[in-house]
């Protein structure tokens, strides 16, 4: 997309860059995932004939595949365990615990897939609705784990259209002291992705597919319709 830089695969800064530069360079470039399984499932999501049951399953499966990539940089520590054969040195996850925070209501569809890989993660909820006239987001609910500031937080929303809800949700988390945030979406419009990365350049964004544009009603084109309605069968 013109005027917008993104990485389809894991970003690799120059070998001479410092650790801080490497982290910042990576975080400023959203990851657009091009895995064949994800792309295949997105095609099924887009089909207007896909029913709510299958739609929910597909959203969950895509979220699980995205979780695999988004957690690739989790720190490890070496431990010693005893197998049935011998003692072995092996790695386990160390460092901060995780929390998944879906933006209601469509973000709920991604939680099950994320928890399938990280069942020990805690789950918070942020409720935002979009004004039908101004398209601006408004908060109506926020419930987070009490230790949210000590966790690495993954904000979930299938659709990144204008970016308003994602920007506000992440700002809410920052205002509460959260320092480590990632954002995961299935479909994004360039307008929303630009808005999010400009407002929060320190937040790593993972997106399964970058679509063409927003229409006059602020829906993503070609998109997949209203994700919340299709997940819950309310339309």
Q: Which of 72, 133, 134, 175 is catalytic?
A: 134
Nearest-CA neighbor of 27 among 231, 201, 207? Answer: 201
Please list, residue by residue across 67-94, b when 16 or more beta carbons sit within 10 angstroms of its beta carbon and e when fewer do: bebbbeeeeeeeeeeeeeeeeeeeeeee
Residues 6+ apart with CB under 8 A from 59: 45, 109, 110, 113, 158, 186, 227, 231
Using the 8-state DSSP alphabet, how is residue 15 labeled? T
The DSSP secondary-structure symbol of 119 reads T
Structure tokens at 221: 């084109």
Q: How many CA atoms lie within 13 A of 36 on its CB side?
A: 0
Residue 22 among the catalytic residues: no
- Active-site residue, selected from the candidate residues 130, 147, 151, 157: 130
To the query of whether residue 175 is one of the catalytic residues in this protein, the response is: no
- Is 134 labeled as catalytic in the residue annotation? yes
Question: Catalytic: 105?
Answer: no
Q: Any idea which residues carry the catalytic annotation?
A: 130, 134, 226, 229
């Amino acid at each position: 997309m013109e005027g917008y830089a993104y990485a389809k695969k894991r970003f690799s800064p120059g070998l001479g860059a410092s650790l801080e530069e490497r982290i910042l360079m990576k975080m400023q470039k959203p990851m657009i995932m091009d895995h064949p399984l994800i792309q295949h499932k997105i095609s099924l999501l887009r089909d207007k004939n896909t029913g709510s049951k299958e739609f929910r399953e597909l959203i969950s499966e895509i979220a699980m595949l995205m979780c695999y990539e988004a957690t690739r940089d989790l720190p490890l520590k070496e431990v010693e365990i005893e197998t049935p054969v011998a003692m072995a040195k092996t790695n386990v996850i160390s460092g901060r615990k995780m929390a998944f925070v879906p933006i209601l209501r469509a973000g709920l569809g991604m939680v099950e897939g994320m928890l399938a890989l990280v069942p020990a993660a805690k789950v918070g909820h942020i409720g935002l609705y979009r004004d039908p006239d101004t398209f601006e987001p408004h908060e109506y609910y926020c419930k987070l784990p009490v230790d949210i500031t000590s966790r690495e937080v993954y904000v979930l929303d299938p659709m990144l259209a204008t970016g308003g809800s994602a920007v506000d949700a992440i700002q809410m988390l920052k205002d509460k002291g959260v320092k480590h945030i990632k954002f995961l979406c299935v479909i994004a419009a360039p307008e929303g992705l630009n808005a999010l990365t400009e407002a929060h350049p320190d937040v790593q964004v993972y997106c399964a597919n970058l679509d063409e544009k927003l229409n006059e009603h602020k829906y993503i084109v070609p998109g997949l319709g209203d994700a919340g309605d299709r997940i819950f069968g309310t339309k």
